[in-house]
Amino acid sequence: MTNDSREREGWKTREKMEADERGVLAPFAQKSGESRGRKYSEASHAYRTEFQRDRARIIHSRAFRRLEYKTQVFLNGTGDHLRTRLTHSIEVASISRTIARALSLNEDLAEAIALAHDLGHSPFGHSGEEMLAECMQEHGGFDHNRQSLRVVELLEAAYPNFPGLNLTFEVCEGLQKHQAFYDPPVEGEEKYRCPSLEAQIANLADEITYYSHDLDDAVDFEILSPSQLEESAVWRASQQSVVERYPEVREPELHQIIIRDIIDVQVRDVITTSAETIANAGVRSADEVRRQPAPLISYSEKLLEANRELRRFLYKNVYYHPRVAEVNRQACEMLRSVFAAYVLAPDRLGDAAAKRIENEGLHRTICDYIAGMTDRYLLEEHARLRGL
């Protein structure tokens, strides 16, 4: 059966999907058929685009599954409804698709980047990241964004012909958050300042998600009072809007509706602001986006300032709250202890990790190993090492 006959029967080949992208997506979208490709050459798939393949590789990776047992803000296992790195990543992917669809951009690419953006995060949330960075201070440091790249380029071992997941250039580009300059796919070409619009969307969707859902978890965890919440302009605005529309609603439903309103306000603002910014920039291709002096996906100035205030509010009232900070402090001391134990006795590492010491060095190998742990496994490993 030929490709033409399959399409007449209702089947969609990769070529047909790529043609659909060229016909439907905006000229400045990153089309899968125009991907710079993968580090290690592979044959194309008959029924999946390159970015769809990337999404599947990420979802099926061990690193992605481990996110279920890694802390977002509140230590994993302390509440049935609290977010983990896995639920956070899924929520970022959902918001990314919404924004990408509204702007006629590539949803598959935005989603793949969103799903992979926290693959390199350490156990115990940002506190764990800070502790691991401290342990690595004299050995190259630690940053979860760079670690996510190490996971997909080196540490995952799912294929016989290459290390890592061999993702496309565009997905790897999107994982290099907060770079001053991005390296081109071909050595010798000029570096550039901005990734694709799809990568920019995943970056901002990450912010939208943790702003709103960290608030939600803090209310569920009962560490934010109604009077504290009203200190935030973002909360006050959505609360007023919700109460006007639903005057009969009370807790616990009320704060959940407010959280949804906050997300909706943020997403609408990003879509309308970005659409205007893209139009004003006059970009006509994905590469013209990359050559821009600043990202084109953004909040309005008003919401940007409100979000800065919300970020300060979260650090003051949530991230450093005694009920959060003390538990995380104890967990991070365990992380430091496990790291030190491995330095003294590298033979305690697993065989696969130990094989990398010669090429990667002892401290980087230990860092990779610990960064890949779940909260639960690190606690168990700490107990095991103490018992030796």
Going from the N-terminus, what domains does the chain have, and what CATH number goes with each?
23-386 (1.10.3210.10)
168 phi, psi to nearest 5 deg: -65, 160
18 and 33 Cβ atoms separated by less than 8 Å: yes
Query: Among 102-106, 125-129, 132-136, 204-208, whose mean pLDDT is lowest?
Result: 125-129
Report pLDDT for 387: 77
Give alpha helix (H) positions in 282-321.
286-290, 301-314
pLDDT digits (tens, 9 = 90+) for 77-96: 565 668 889 999 999 999 99
Count of H-run helices and E-run strands, the chain: 20, 0
What is the predicted pLDDT for the residue at 7? 53
Which of the two residues, 22 and 218, has the higher pLDDT score? 22
The crossing angle, in degrees rounded to 10, of helices 375-386 and 322-344 is 50
Estimate the crossing angle of helix 125-135 against helix 362-371, to 10 degrees. 170
pTM for the model: 0.94
Query: What percent of the chain is modeled with pLDDT above 90?
Result: 77
For range 208-223, the mean pLDDT: 89
48-78 pLDDT, tens digit per residue, is: 999 999 999 999 999 999 999 998 876 665 6
Q: What is the per-residue pLDDT for 4?
A: 57
* Spatial distance between the Cα atoms of 18 and 32, rounded to a whole number of angstroms: 7
Predicted pLDDT at 137: 97
Of 102 and 251, which is predicted with more confidence? Answer: 102
Q: Per-residue pLDDT for 32 more than 80?
A: yes
In angstroms, how far is the first alpha carbon of the chain from the final one?
64
The per-residue pLDDT of the chain, averaged, comes to: 92
* Residue 358 C-alpha from the chain's centroid: 30
The mean pLDDT of 115-119, rounded to a whole number, is 97
pLDDT reported for residue 324: 83
What pLDDT does residue 220 have? 85
Query: What average pLDDT does this structure show over 286-292?
Result: 96
Q: What is the pLDDT of residues 318-367, one digit of tens each?
A: 888 888 888 888 999 999 999 999 999 999 998 888 889 999 999 999 99
**Would you say residue 164 has pLDDT above 80?**
yes
Q: What share of the chain is helix, strand, coil (3-state, %, to 5)?
A: 65, 0, 35
Which of 33-47, 217-231, 247-261 has the lowest average pLDDT?
217-231
pLDDT digits (tens, 9 = 90+) for 297-325: 999 999 999 999 999 999 999 888 888 88
**pLDDT band, residue 264 (cuts 50/70/90):** very high
What's the half-sphere exposure (Cβ side, CA atoms, 13 Å) at 249?
Answer: 15
Query: What pLDDT does residue 257 have?
Result: 96
Instruction: Please report the pLDDT score of residue 24 as a whole number.
Output: 97
pLDDT given at position 77: 58
pLDDT (0 to 100) of residue 135: 97
Res 217 pLDDT > 90: no
Average of pLDDT values for 182-194? 86
* Beta carbons of 324 and 223 less than 8 angstroms apart: yes
Determine which of 4-18, 169-183, 231-245, 278-292 has the lowest per-residue pLDDT on average. 4-18
